[in-house]
Amino acid sequence: MDNYKFRVEFLEDARQFLDELDEKAREKIFYNIWKASITNDRELFKKLQDEVWEFRTKFSKTYYRLFAFWDKTAKEDTVVISTHGLIKKTGKVPKGEIEKARKLMEQYFQEKKEKGRKK
C-alpha cells in the first residue's frame, strides 16, 4: 500500500449500487477510484460539503457519483468509506443525497464506537 494515499471500503448501499451497473461502467468506476487513491485528482475525488466527498466518473455520456467520507481513526491506516452511489442527471448534487451520506457516516462511526466498547 506504499503508493496509496488511502484505501477504500464500501458500505452495503454502495455495493448494491455498483452491483446493479453494467460491467464496463463498474470497471471504469473502480479504475477511477484506484487512480484517485494514488493521485490528488480533483476531477476524480472531490469534497462536496463538510465531511462528504464524492468519487466522480464519466463513462459513455453518463455521470456516476459514489459518496464517501474519511475514517482517520486508525493513525496507520487511512480509509475512505463509500456510502452509496447515484447516476447524476442534473448539474447539482441533490441535497438529499449529501444528507444520506452524512447519516450513513454518523451511523458508521456510532457502530464503530459501539464495537470498540465491546472489546
What does the pLDDT look like over 57-107, one tens digit per residue? 999 999 999 999 999 988 788 899 999 999 988 788 889 999 999 999 999
Distance (Å, rounded) from C-alpha 49 to C-alpha 29?
21
| Cβ neighbours for 45, distance < 8 A, ≥ 6 positions apart | 36, 53, 54, 55, 56, 68, 80
The residues facing 88 across adjacent strands are 63
Q: Lay out the sheet containing 45-49: strands in order across.
A: 7-10, 79-88, 62-71, 52-59, 45-49
Does 1 score more than 50 pLDDT? no
Cell of 23: 460491467
Q: How much is the pLDDT for 71? A: 94
What the chain holds in terms of domains, given with CATH numbers, is 7-118 (3.30.2310.20)
* Arithmetic mean of pLDDT over the chain: 92
* Whole-model pTM over 0.85: yes
